[in-house]
Amino acid sequence: MECRLCWGNSNDKQAFCDGKRSKIVNDPGYWGAADPQVLVLGMSKGNTQSEAMSESWRKGDYDDVPYKGFRPRLLKVLQAVGLMPGVETLDSRIQETEPSYGWASIMRCSLTGLKPDGSYGASSAQVIAAMKRPEVNVWLSRCIAAHLGQLSPRTRLVVLLGNDDKYMRVISKTMKHVFGHAYREHPSLSPVVFRAGSRIFVHVGHPSPLNGTLGEFLEGDRFSGQGKKREMARLGVKGALGDQFGKL
């Protein structure tokens, strides 16, 4: 996909923000259905995906970029909340021919944050911290307005990868700012489910190998911690999809 919304007339491929505490690379990407029923979004492309993105044009393996290195874990997360029953691999579903699922990240360009050693990292700690900063949050708000504000009625569910409390607060605050009165928390399923516009957004456990609570999200007790978040997410998915729940 092409997007220069935040870049003005500049031809730069990267920009530093907030006193160089954050870096954004102009490499927006989208995969799967052009008009999806379910849209799955990470925070931003991590280092592995961003590097794969820069190489994909040369190697011709663009569909290999998203969730590179942890697709089996992502499939387990989706199945834990009632999506993709019976699917054995995501490889066949992250393609141009996919009819129902779209795949991308909230921040379509790659976002990294400054680490103590002076390098830039894309772990949740760096990305969440960067998203809180005013300059980056302006970019994030533009991105949400442009790419999530114009979704068609066919898109009934948006799955957000990441249910860390700090991350959810950042996204909730930004969504409220972008969608205004169209944003509202679900009265019984918060904090992992909310509505913005005509569709339901659901936070799920992040499938990154660095997420030490993923096991609890997948198999934990349904009445506490990550297990409780899983069950709330599952109810949110069911509410969004209705009679299609357990079939998509």
Report pLDDT for 84. Answer: 97
Cα 45 to Cα 52: distance, rounded to the nearest angstrom: 10
What are the residue ranges spanned by the domains of the chain? 14-244
Alpha carbon distances (Å) from 230 to 125, 134, 153, 199: 22, 31, 26, 19
The mean-pLDDT minimum among 1-15, 29-43, 44-58, 95-109 falls in 44-58
Average pLDDT over residues 156-182: 94
Instruction: Calculate Rg over the CA atoms of the chain.
Output: 17
Examine the pLDDT at 125 and tell me if it is beyond 60. yes
Q: Which two tokens stand for residue 184?
A: 């509202």
* DSSP per-residue codes, 14-80: EEEETTTTEEEE-----EE-SS-SEEEEEEE--HHHHHHHHHHHHHT-GGG-TTTT-HHHHHHHHHH
Place of tokens 């691999």: 89
Name the CATH superfamily, with its identifier, for domain 14-244. Answer: Uracil-DNA glycosylase-like domain (3.40.470.10)
pTM (predicted TM-score): 0.93
Which segment of 23-27, 42-46, 169-173 scores lowest on mean pLDDT? 42-46
- How far is residue 34 CA from its own chain's centroid? 17
The answer to whether 205 and 227 are in contact (CB under 8 A) is no
